[in-house]
Amino acid sequence: MKKMLSNPALWRGVVSIAVFLILWEIGARSRQWMAPEFFAPFRELLGAIGLKKDYLPWIGAVPAPSVVLASWIAVLVDRSYWQSWYMSLFRVMAGFLAAMLIGIPFGLMLAVSRVTHGIGFPVFEVLRPIPPLAWVPASIIFWPTQETAIAFITFLGAFYTIVINVLGGARSIDVRYFQAARSMGSSRWDIFRRVILPGTLPSIVVGSAVGMGITWEVVVAAEMISGGGSQIGGTRGGGLGFFIWNSYVGGSYEQIVIGMISIGIAGFASSELLRWGGRYATPWLKAR
């Protein structure tokens, strides 16, 4: 603990967040001491160069962190807020785990077998540039429930990244390792198990961490667009994305910010968890 407190990296992090919050507080409170007329000259300037006069953003329109915090404390005891967490987390995990379970073997097969690569890769490459959000209407039609539709979209978000990383990682294993293994009498299965798999593991970790981030981006957007399955549960809440959207519709601006920060925390925590697991799985990488 003492060691942690003397860690300069920790203090830099604290300072960084503190400065951010202070600037935000000052900016948000500018509404109180800064009259809207203050910006009149800028508006005139915008008008002069041919733009609409109200194009100017102002941080004063955003609720201050102190207000958000107060509102957050109230929300903490609200079950529907936690239900939103749970819904989003559940969808992310479902999509992400499915992406790992299907993506890792698929990527390895593309790397190992020329036939699989020849058959599977062209289709994969055509589907890959389609953004997961473009799949929203199609998957709502295709999947029987809204829940599976959203999970499918989060799955897509992580799937392509994981497959591409696994494929690239397995392909970039040095040919000398295969030559050495073959010389020493390794069978194909033995080479797969003891050379290809551990050789790809670092790429699997990286692909998963990146994929996890994309999953959070996608789940929120999917919830906003699809209504978050709120019609099923009503008050049960439809995930953090829907929480934000609902707050916007209801005019509760503090809760928009609460939702945003919640997603930030959730994404950070899950990526950190993955990185931690990754370090545990690849002990030879830190040993340098």
The reply to whether 90 sits near another protein by the rule CB under 8 A is no
The reply to whether 190 sits near another protein by the rule CB under 8 A is yes
The reply to whether 278 sits near another protein by the rule CB under 8 A is no
What binding mask, one character per residue, do residues 155-174 give for another protein by CB under 8 A, x or -? -------------------x
What binding mask, one character per residue, do residues 119-158 give for another protein by CB under 8 A, x or -? ----------------------------------------
Q: Which stretch binds another protein (CB under 8 A): 25-33, 85-93, 133-141, 186-194?
A: 186-194
d(Cα 201, Cα 172) in Å, to the nearest integer? Answer: 12
Number of residues in contact with another protein under rule CB under 8 A: 24
d(Cα 197, Cα 170) in Å, to the nearest integer? Answer: 8
| CB-based contacts of 245-254 (< 8 A; 24+ apart in sequence) | 252/71, 253/62, 253/63, 254/63, 254/67, 254/68, 254/70, 254/71, 254/72
Question: Which DSSP category does 4 fall into?
Answer: H
What binding mask, one character per residue, do residues 201-240 give for another protein by CB under 8 A, x or -? x---------------------------------------
Q: Are 209 and 271 in contact (CB under 8 A)?
A: yes
Find the binder of another protein among 79, 188, 194, 279 (CB under 8 A): 194
Find the binder of another protein among 45, 119, 180, 261 (CB under 8 A): 180
Phi, psi of 239 (to 5 degrees): 95, 165
Q: Are 258 and 264 in contact (CB under 8 A)?
A: no
Find the binder of another protein among 45, 134, 179, 272 (CB under 8 A): 179
Encoded tokens for 83:
């239900």
Q: Which is nearer to another protein, 194 or 279 (CB)?
A: 194
The reply to whether 280 sits near another protein by the rule CB under 8 A is no
Least distance (Å) between residue 7 CB and another protein: 24
CA dihedral 42, 47, 52, 58 (to 10 degrees): 0
**Site residues (CB under 8 A) for another protein?**
174, 176-177, 179-187, 190, 194-195, 198-199, 201, 282-285, 287-288
